Amino acid sequence: MLEALHIAAFARGRTSPNPLVGAVIVRDGRIIAEGWHRKAGTPHAEIHALAMAGDLAKGATLYVTLEPCSHYGRTGPCAEAIVRSGIRRVVVAMEDPNPKVSGRGCRILRDHGIEVTLGVLKQEARVLNEVFLHWITTGRPFVALKTAMSLDGKIATADGESKWITGEESRKQVHRLRDTYDGILVGIGTVLADNPSLTTRLPDGSGKNPIRVILDSMARTPLHSNVLVDGEAETIIAVTSRAPKDRVERLREAGASILVAGNGDVTDLSVLLSKLGKRELTSLFVEGGARVNDAFLRAGLIDKVYAFIAPMLIGGESAPTPAGGQGVKKLSEALALERMTMQTFGQDVLLTAYASRSQEKP
């Protein structure tokens, strides 16, 4: 099962809106075939492994990281293919919470006399598919907030200078993270100040560009912005119903997809995330400034945090911190983080943690 989990991760960031799945077939104590799901609409992990095993699958044991599907979607049901293959035993890490499956896959196997063992390395399987599990159960994308700050918690100087607080190795890691998320989000302030591309730029050029999401309640994105003219990825601009209709139409004519989220002066993030989820965008990488981060924090929509910390002290009462606004009045109201891990990139430290009130703990 560890091998199945390992190979499933090969497709991280590529299978959306499907989960990451790995499958390993064992016969007489030896691995004879492996497979992993590569992309939505292509064969599932079990099908790849069964094709590799051929007739040797008869009487063998299949290890799979997620319950085999039992319905017709973009591909046929894996549970029926397993039955036809002659597999004798199936070991499953966890049930699929998708209502279209949710125990039916294992039931089909058992009904055909196949021995099923469920729950092997379940926690590891949950961590592997934290994005899919969140999206399939809430209907909203999994939200990861990324910030880069000095040791004293500043994301820029008092005059607004922020390039570059963290070093080159940290910036490379940010692009690796972008490569694994469906969407990347910033506010209109970032677009106006920096004219970013919001693309993935890896040294070997293999990166996948996420869908770009701009919080722009009044449709102020300039028509010459990189996110509109470079053609590198789809751009979604989130406005409110109060945005001037002529501006909205010009943005639409420039190629942007428009989502209306809310009726006030600022975008309603809960509405926006629900609409993004319906578009099968399962994960969102938030790279906004202090105001955007504060909005997600106040809305209780942060699931994971990536905090890059550079070994420098900036100081200054007016220098911005990762989350702006008024903040909480009591520590009991603060967003508690858990399961924190630490990595180093060059001279910087990356702390990764989860919101304690997010999805069921893996």
Catalytic residue annotation: 46
- The span from the CA of 78 to the CA of 105, in Å, is 8
Residue by residue, DSSP assigns 123-152 as HHHHHHTHHHHHHHHHSS-EEEEEEEEETT
Strand 337-345 and strand 283-286: the pairing is unpaired
Give me the residues paired with residue 354 across strands.
304, 338
Please state at what angle helix 78-85 crosses helix 45-53, rounded to 10 degrees. Answer: 20
Paired tokens of 201: 């730029």
Q: In this structure, what are the phi and psi dihedrals at residue 206, rounded to the nearest 5 degrees?
A: -90, 0
Residue by residue, DSSP assigns 71-128 as S-SSS--HHHHHHHHT--EEEESS---STTTTTHHHHHHHHTT-EEEE-TTHHHHHHH
